[in-house]
Structure 1
């Protein structure tokens, strides 16, 4: 009724203005209008204050996806049965929003839109600022962030990743809906209000990723995954942010979001280059017992996680191409792709693995025993193939890559067996021999077999399946031929003092080979040029 009376008063004033601008009735009407506007201002402010929690409940406590359209009361056009299901929250917020809209419409029609907007800006801006403060992203300072140690900054990044999603999808989205709804009768006022309450906070929110990548002391290859997390977050939120901050006056928000994405992409690209350079420069020693080298573990763990970010890395490579010798050997890159940027990432992965394997070749050459070198290469390449097969890298590099390199593992093992055990197999007769010759065969075989077992007792094959495969292969090569000679000549004269090993002993000796000690499966001591694992693991 009061709003209708104000509208009637406004209409009457328009009438008397046309009749006489100095009419006593008009002067009286203007006084009444000022009184009415003051009351409307007070009521508008009161509704905003009293319903802060009602209208903020979804954005602060609900932490759910924002509604596509503004909630409404049962007396507001557009109210649906779905709204009723949500109970008092929708009803209370709908009543408040409807009242705010009606007051705003009346004040705008009466020429007091600026006064209404001023109250709205002050009240709702404080809501945004307080909510962001509660989310832990209220005041992000560049100089402070750039001076932070990683153990302090990294939890802030995790918090920001969660907070930015809530802020964009719920807080700013909800405020845009509320603002557009309340000031639906004036797009200019709606834009002015939303810009005033959101611009500074949103720009500050999107400043954070850029502040992080400007912190040079915290930029190293193992930190790349947090940079990729930030890049993915900004990329995924960009369509919604672009829609929410679509007003021309909010272009600084859109520009900052784009700038954050660009800076993150540049940082990731730089860290990828640093990662490759670190592999090239690595000068760590060989692994004890010819097991999997710490460099191999680190590089492959790194690449596996890069594979989990294939979408983001593909986008980054499309904008900042990687430097790769072209063309790569066909055996290292043979999977076609219709997407040039996706193919570029795959080729880069294949190239980095090739760099790693070349580095491992140089480390293998440091072993004094060539046989040990081949077992070292087999262990490390098998680890690489296993990591590729059991991760997204398998889909990226393709089955042919896995097959080709799996065959190389077998070739390395075949060479190891030939060089390490050929003397032992050669000591076993391939045809009928005299008992006197058998004595010499047993002596030679015993000596060679025991020497090899003693020499290789510290050699390891970390992969259980591969370890058992090599054991079985050696048993098939040695035990059947030895068993024939053993059963044929064990009762011959003088053999009792010559034969020291039964076939079962060979089996037992070979079954004990290659088992890693409990502390050789982990490689926490590796620190020369790369950290032992990605920082967020």
Structure 2
């Protein structure tokens, strides 16, 4: 028989029907050991025959003892569970039998001893196949991905050197075992690797892999299901209401970390360890076990991004899913590093691309919503507009995703950058030191808001109150920026510029709202005046102060700091001048008839009235400064900040 044909016989897991039956393999060894059969002198057997005789003599009792078809004991008992030392000896016996078969093929390929050895090899492989299945199925708890993934790394388990080296009498110590569970996990892994290496080197890789793939794939699929990851069609996502979809997204967010760090990572560690002797086998095995589940996991975000109804408020879930993939990308890239798992990484990248498109579209829609806001009812008391709170709350939350948004917006700076001067953005941007795309985008959205607020300020009949409205809303914007991550994105220069604008609006409000009261008092309150002139000044002050107070007492300034600054500034000018004028002329006025009607306010009264400003009081009544009554939805006042 040609050598190639004999080699095929040695390493094929199957035997043709013409091969000797199992009963022949248990016949006495003398039946196959006659030297005359091979043309050799009975007194001088060949070296290969001598080796095969000794090997068969030692192998046959061991292998036949554990023949699962021979005794009930061998059928129901686990070799590796019964005696690990005997299991090690069994593996060594099989390896020695394999070596002897290699040797005899080179010298006498027609030896009947070779067929006898092949029969024994088949029995041994059947035993190991049974052991492999039992270890995998009985140690599901010890070989779960969480237990396996506690091993230090794939590199520490990927060595092709078996713990059961042929020259060692003892099993190598598992130094990474730090607990009883890990000891059990490491022991089961070592047994699986020992069996896999023996079966693969003996030509029985197919039988070994079939068992491994069936059991381990069921574990991965079960893990994906328990994590709540379900495969949805495009139409199912499209028809799903947002509340239900948000629950699914939250399930996915909780699942992706566990799937990557534990499920897939643990499976890769186990696969690399058990099949360390063959790169091609461990690749095909890992791919078949995990590809389906991983594809379902990483396809979900793409499905949501492409088929859910888009709206700005959904941007945060899209950013969460983008974060879930991008944050774990180094691990995904490492775990699915095989050529055959490129499709898994490709799916994850596709989901990132679709999520990025979703985010950019949502930001565009958000800008459109600001521009299209058409409510014309002015806010009661010139307070904070709902649009201001909604936009700034939205942007402050967006700033928490600054790293992700930087990646998404890197290639899409605002188009307005080329048509508006740098000062509109609140900072300088140059070709030598360009501002990040996320900074430009957020600054642009705030600018759109401020322009819209400027339009809404025109709905106030009283210009002074319009400026107070602008001061209040810009102050809210500034405080929101300062107390969120927007501060780090927009920078101190932006804050300084806009704080200065708040002061400008407040100064204009003061001049227009209280200037006529200030102007009613002489610049030199102690100058000598006639009683008639003094009386006229008091009357003018009374009238202008009453008018101003009636208008301004309905106003609010929610921000404590801004409220105090405006009140102190007004009081410093009105209260000081009035007190000096009052003290200089109260004696003169005291001699006049009806002096109480002329001097209606003591300085303390003026101070009390000014201190009560900007809380929305209405004690003095008076006509409203608004064209129409504000709608209920826009009369709500935010908390003071």
Q: Give the TM-score of the pair, scaled to structure 1.
A: 0.90
Q: Which runs of 5+ in 1 are unaligned?
A: 518-522, 527-531, 533-537
| Correspondences of 1:296-445 after superposition (within 5 Å) | 296-331=388-423, 332-335=425-428, 343-431=436-524, 432=527, 433-445=529-541
Q: Does residue 123 of structure 1 match 2:223?
A: no
Q: Who is 1:234 aligned against?
A: 325
Residue 185 (structure 1) aligns with: 277
Does the CA-based 8 Å contact 1:73-1:92 persist in structure 2? Answer: no
* Partner SS for 1:214: helix
Paired residues, number:
516
Deviation at 1:166, TM superposition (A): 1.2
Residue pairs, 1:145-160, within 5 angstroms = 145-160=237-252
For the Cα contact (< 8 Å) 2:145–2:263, is it kept in 1?
Answer: no
What's the CA shift string for 1:107-141, capped at 9, x where partnerless? 00100011101110001111111111121115444
Contact 2:453–2:470 (CA under 8 A) maintained in structure 1: yes
Q: Which moved more, 1:142-151 or 1:365-374?
A: 142-151
Candidates 472, 488, 493, aligned match of 2:592? 493
Residue 196 of structure 1 is matched in structure 2 by 288
Q: Matches of residues 93-112 of structure 1 in structure 2 within 5 Å? A: 93-112=185-204
1:96/1:142 Cα in 2 relative to 1: closer, same or farther (>3 Å)?
Answer: farther
Contact 1:7 1:106 in 2 (8 A): yes
Tell me which of the two structures has the higher relative contact order, counting C-alpha pairs closer than 8 angstroms and 6 or more residues apart: 1
RMSD: 2.5
Q: Deviations over 1:144-169 (max 9, x none)?
A: 33322111221222221221111111
Give CA deviations for 1:394-434 in whole Å, capped at 9, x if unaligned. 22222121111111111111111111111111111234221
Check conservation: 1:157, 1:226, Cα contact below 8 A. yes
Aligned-residue offset at 1:23? 3.7
Per mean C-alpha deviation after superposition, the further-off stretch among 358-367 and 21-30 is: 21-30
1:529 corresponds to which residue? none
Work out the CA distance in 1 between the residues paired with 2:104 and 2:227: 54
Matched residue, 1:278: 369
- Counterpart contact for 1:209–1:260, Cα < 8 Å: yes
Residue 113 of structure 1 corresponds to which residue in structure 2? 205
Q: Aligned to 2:523, what secondary structure does the other structure show?
A: coil
Mapped partners of 1:159, 1:339: distance in 2: 45
CA contact (8 A) 1:231 1:261 kept: yes
| Structure 2 partner of 1:520 | none
Q: Which residue of structure 2 lines up, in the alignment, with residue 512 of structure 1? A: 612
Matches within 5 A, 1:439-478: 439-478=535-574
Inter-partner Cα distance in structure 2 for 1:184 and 1:37: 19
> 1:21-58 CA deviation, whole Å, 9 max, x = no partner?
55433333222222211111111011011111112162
Give the secondary structure class of the aligned counterpart of 2:416.
coil
CA contact (8 A) 1:291 1:461 kept: yes
8 Å Cα contact 1:428-1:445 kept in structure 2: yes
Paired position in structure 1 for 2:34: none
In 2, are the aligned partners of 1:76 and 1:94 still within 8 Å (CA)? no
Q: Distance in 2 between matches of 1:257 and 1:346?
A: 27
Query: Does the CA-based 8 Å contact 2:513-2:552 persist in structure 1?
Result: no
What per-residue deviation string (whole Å, max 9, x for no partner) do you get for residues 206-265 of structure 1?
A: 001111112332x21111111111112211211211111111111110110110111111
Q: Is the 8 A contact 1:136 1:160 kept in 2?
A: yes
Matches within 5 A, 1:7-46: 7-46=95-134
Shift of the 445–157 alpha-carbon distance from structure 1 to 2, 3 Å rule, reads same
Counterpart pick for 2:575 among 470, 479, 492: 479
Alpha-carbon contact 1:328-1:351 (below 8 Å) kept: no
The CA distance in 2 between the partners of 1:458 and 1:139, in whole Å, is 58
Distance, in Å, in 2 between the alignment partners of 1:470 and 1:118 is: 81
Q: Match of 2:439, SS?
A: helix
Give 1:516 shift.
5.0
Rounded Cα–Cα distance in structure 2 between residues aligned with 1:410 and 1:226: 38
Is this contact kept in 2: 1:73–1:91, CA < 8 A? no
Contact preservation (8 Å) 1:73, 1:93:
no
Contact 2:312 2:362 in 1 (8 A): yes
Counterpart of 2:509 in 1: which secondary structure?
A: helix
SS at match of 2:399: helix
Q: 1:66 touches 1:170 (CA, 8 Å); kept in 2?
A: no
Distance 2:414 2:575 in 1: 53
Aligned-partner Cα distance in 1 for 2:503–2:222: 63
2:75 paired residue number: none
1:302 aligned counterpart, secondary structure: helix
Q: Deviations over 1:309-363 (max 9, x none)?
A: 1111111112444432415333224355899886222122222211111111110
Post-superposition Cα deviations, 1:85-106, rounded to whole Å, max 9, x if no partner, equal: x221221111100000000000
Inter-CA distance 369–205: structure 2 relative to 1 (3 Å threshold): same
* Match of residue 299 from structure 2: 207
Instruction: State the 1:180 CA deviation.
Output: 0.8
Matches of 2:229 and 2:245, distance apart in 1:
13
CA drift of 1:15 comes to 3.4
Q: Deviations over 1:263-304 (max 9, x none)?
A: 111111111111111111111233221111111111111111
**Equivalent of 1:171 in 247, 263, 270:** 263
> TM-score if structure 2 supplies the norm length?
0.76
Q: SS in structure 2 opposite 1:429?
A: coil
Contact 1:179/1:194 (8 A) holds in 2? yes
> What is the rounded CA distance, in whole Å, between the counterparts of 2:110 and 2:153 in structure 1?
51
